[in-house]
Amino acid sequence: MTSTLPYRRVPAPDPMLPARYVVADRVVETVDSATLVLAPVDEPLPHFKPGQFTMISVPGIGEIAVSISGDPNYELILVQTVRAVGAVSRAIHDAVPGSVLGLRGPFGTDWDLPGAEGADLLIVAGGIGLAPLRPVLLGALAHRSRYGRITLVLGARTPAEFLYRELIRSWTKSPDLTVVSTVDHPTPGWRGRVGLVTAPLAQVELDPARTVAFLCGPEVMIRFSAELLRERGMPADHIRLSLERNMKCGIGLCGHCQLGPLLLCRDGPVVHYGQVADLLPVKEL
């Protein structure tokens, strides 16, 4: 018997409607950065992929884009590291356990870690740029046999400005990866390198044909690091970057995050170097 009832389409979640998340824990990382562990109050957001971001809102203050920094193997809990640089980021940074925030997402392109299986991984992070890359490392180490050599190159202005310092110490002792750290300004007791990340990056063991690079940090660092890797023979499509612009909507409507022909909330934040090599040197963009 054929039903005469009309077909009912289940509406998709409204991407502009925040879901409520409660701050379950807060970890101070540096003098101006903190990591929040966020648990859903209502229906959780869809599971994220490493490299994606959410739009986090504080009632009465505003909303900003924040990269997801947690373990991709955990589906419900979101971990996000924020640096206090403005009114909204300061309010998120200061949120104490029990505070409720609004989250939309996850949005944007991802690092495509499965697409790098079988390759060596070169991960280059400057300052807060380690936050979007943390899921890459956690995901790769959880499936270590799927990847070749893993090298992490870290840069910060001072030793105190490295994120996830306990985790970095454990990574440094691990036989599963090589960690190279450098700072712009050493402090007493620092025994690592001093200088820009491009110096150790020029010296790390590298097989250009079988390496995939992941870069995130200040844009000038990203640009010079990518150019150095191209000089060392890496194909442009093996170099993946996470770029930042003023994201307001997260879904490609407002145009605030435009970089030439790209809208980074939709076409990024993760892009291949070949997509933006001619755009990054243009100051107006």
- The CA-based angle 39-40-41, given to 5 degrees, is 120
> CA-to-CA distance for 98 and 26, rounded, in angstroms?
10
What pLDDT score does 3 carry?
Answer: 42
What pLDDT score does 175 carry?
Answer: 96
> CA-to-CA distance for 180 and 124, rounded, in angstroms?
10
Separation of CA 112 from chain center: 12
Q: How far is CA 46 from CA 57, 74, 95, 253, 274, in A?
A: 18, 12, 23, 21, 30
What pLDDT score does 76 carry?
Answer: 84
Structure token pair of residue 149: 């050599």
What pLDDT score does 285 carry?
Answer: 76
> CA-to-CA distance for 44 and 20, rounded, in angstroms?
8
Q: For 185-238, what is each residue's pLDDT tens digit? A: 999 999 889 999 999 999 999 999 999 999 999 999 999 999 999 999 999 999
> Which CATH code for domain 113-242?
3.40.50.80
CATH of 19-107, one of 2.40.160.20, 2.40.30.10, 3.40.50.1580, 3.30.230.10: 2.40.30.10
Q: How far is CA 88 from CA 81, 106, 194, in A?
A: 14, 19, 33
Q: How far is CA 74 from CA 47, 92, 135, in A?
A: 9, 22, 11
Q: Which residue has the tokens 């995050």?
A: 257
Q: Hey, where are the domains in the chain?
A: 19-107, 113-242
Tell me which residues of the chain have a pLDDT lower than 50.
Answer: 1-8, 10
Q: For 208-219, what is each residue's pLDDT tens digit? A: 999 999 999 999
Structure token pair of residue 97: 């356990």
What pLDDT score does 14 carry?
Answer: 85
Nearest to 148 by CA among 238, 240, 212, 204: 212
What pLDDT score does 12 carry?
Answer: 56
What pLDDT score does 113 carry?
Answer: 96
Nearest to 157 by CA among 83, 81, 239: 83
CB neighbour list of residue 137: distance below 8 Å, 6 or more residues apart? 123, 150, 152, 171, 177
- The CA-based angle 140-141-147, given to 5 degrees, is 55
